[in-house]
């Protein structure tokens, strides 16, 4: 049994992995914290462990460079890559969302939060209701200028039928599929490179769910909504993989100055 390749096969059963997207995930999860630049060889080592050939990695880097996501630096016969200036801002915003803690409002906190609600319902969503919640005054102002119905005030009661109507088809299944795919490696003792590969795949699949579907606020979760369970699953597995995967990065990953730099921030603080 090969824990990494078996995991890749399980993921590919539902949606084929994209090499360029895996590279972006690796940059955000493991490289940015360590100075931001990494050798092509390091990336090839990690993706090779997932069964991806070096030619596919080179093609993906070429695409990312042409699209302005990464910048290539040639030193001798080695190539090094870092995120471009154009890609840093949206990348940082995405990172904040990926590793955000799960906050379920209840009791006094929910009472304090209720008056801050601004709900938007777009004409294009009717009759399938989709509730959007603005998170700032500027977002609210943008919604007011749109053709949306805007509701502002307290949430007194949200019935189950409305919660179910607000949930997109396939959204709940995506959480269950992630947990089912990664469950076999939860109690498996992994080598450092395997731990890093699984960590990259875990964040890649978690990121895909977050950006494929609209956010469902806790107040609108159906009774059987699996987001909290999945968030806890991802957090616990991620923290379990961190020590060995970080050890591989420190011992093997390279950058323009040789060994890749030390982490500027503790990745163990993620999801907390």
Q: What is the pLDDT of residue 129?
A: 60
pLDDT for the residue 95: 83
Distance CA 5, CA 197 (A): 10
Interior/surface letters 178-193, b for 16+ CB within 10 angstroms, e for the rest: bbebbeebeeeebebb
Q: Report how far apart the first and last C-alpha atoms of the chain are (Å, whole number).
A: 33
- In the chain, what are the domain boundaries? 3-104+165-269, 107-164
Helices and strands in the chain, H and E counts: 11, 8
CATH class of the 3-104+165-269 domain in this structure = mainly alpha
pTM over 0.75: yes
Tens digit of pLDDT per residue, the chain (272 long)? 899 999 999 998 877 899 999 999 999 999 988 988 999 999 999 999 999 999 999 999 999 999 988 999 998 888 999 988 876 777 777 888 899 998 744 344 444 444 466 777 777 766 666 665 655 666 666 666 677 777 777 777 888 888 887 788 889 999 999 999 999 999 888 999 999 999 999 999 999 999 998 778 788 888 889 999 999 999 999 999 999 999 999 999 999 989 898 888 889 889 98
- Give Cα separations from 18 to 23, 197, 201 (angstroms): 9, 15, 11
Q: What backbone phi and psi angles, to 5 degrees, belong to 48?
A: -65, -35
The beta strand positions in the chain, using DSSP E, are 37-39, 70-75, 78-83, 117-121, 132-133, 149-153, 254-255, 258-259
**Helix, strand or coil for residue 2?**
coil
- Burial class from Cβ neighbours inside 10 Å (0-12, 13-18, 19+) for residue 245 reads buried
């Amino acid at each position: 049994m090969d824990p990494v390749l078996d995991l890749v096969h399980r993921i590919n059963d539902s949606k084929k992995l994209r090499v360029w997207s895996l590279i972006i995930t690796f940059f955000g999860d493991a490289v940015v914290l360590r100075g931001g630049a990494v050798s092509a060889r390091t990336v090839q080592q990690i993706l090779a462990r997932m069964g991806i050939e070096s030619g596919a990695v080179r093609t993906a880097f070429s695409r990312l460079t042409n699209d302005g996501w990464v910048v290539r630096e040639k030193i001798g016969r080695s190539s090094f890559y870092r995120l471009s200036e154009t890609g840093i801002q949206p990348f940082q915003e995405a990172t904040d969302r990926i590793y955000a803690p799960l906050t379920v409002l209840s009791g006094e906190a929910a009472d304090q939060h209720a008056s801050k609600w601004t709900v938007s319902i777009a004409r294009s969503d009717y009759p399938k209701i989709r509730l959007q919640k603005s998170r700032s005054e500027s977002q609210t102002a943008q919604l007011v200028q749109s053709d949306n119905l805007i509701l502002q005030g307290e949430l007194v009661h949200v019935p189950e039928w409305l919660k179910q109507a607000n949930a997109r088809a396939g959204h709940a299944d995506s959480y269950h599929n992630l947990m089912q795919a990664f469950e076999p490696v939860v109690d498996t003792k992994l080598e450092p490179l395997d731990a890093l590969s699984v960590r990259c795949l875990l964040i890649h699949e978690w990121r895909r769910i977050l950006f494929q579907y609209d956010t469902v606020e806790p107040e609108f979760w159906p009774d059987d909504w699996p987001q909290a369970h999945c968030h806890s699953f991802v957090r616990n597995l991620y923290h379990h993989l961190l020590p060995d995967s970080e050890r591989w990065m420190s011992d093997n990953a390279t950058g323009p100055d040789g060994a890749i730099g030390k982490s500027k921030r503790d990745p163990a603080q993620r999801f907390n």
